[in-house]
Amino acid sequence: MADITDIKTILYTEKSLGFQESGVIVVQTSTRMTKNRLKQIFKEYFGFTPIKVNSLRQDGKIKRFKGREGQRMDFKKFYVKIPEGANIDSLAV
């Protein structure tokens, strides 16, 4: 069962704000999320089914902090095309 807590954040970068003008939002999730589960979440919690969903898997960078190596978390980004007239309250910037 899909849950809204699987979505980590909606990205607000210069690039993603440009996508929002054309009806595409960028969502960051855990690596376990699938396109079908994301569509279920949008249907259950936001009341609409996305038109199209594209995914991108991003590996975490290896960084050094105080001489020790560490790795950032891996994540998935989804580019979600929403239908015209659909509204998500958390998108208000």
Write out the two tokens for 67.
């001489």
Average pLDDT of the chain to the nearest whole number: 89
Nearest to 91 by CA among 54, 80, 33, 1: 80
CA dist 70 and 60 (Å) reads: 10
* Residue 80 domain-assigned (yes or no): yes
Task: For residue 71, give the 3-state DSSP assignment.
Answer: strand
Our count of domains for the chain comes to: 1
Q: Structural domain of residue 19, as residue ranges?
A: 4-85
Q: Examine residue 76 and state whether it is found in any structural domain, yes or no.
A: yes
pLDDT, residue 47, reads: 87
pLDDT of residue 51: 94
Phi-psi region of 64 (alpha: psi -120 to 50; beta: other; left: phi over 0): beta
Q: Is the pLDDT of residue 22 over 80?
A: yes
pLDDT digits (tens, 9 = 90+) for 38-65: 999 999 888 889 999 999 999 999 999 9
The answer to whether position 35 is within a domain reads yes
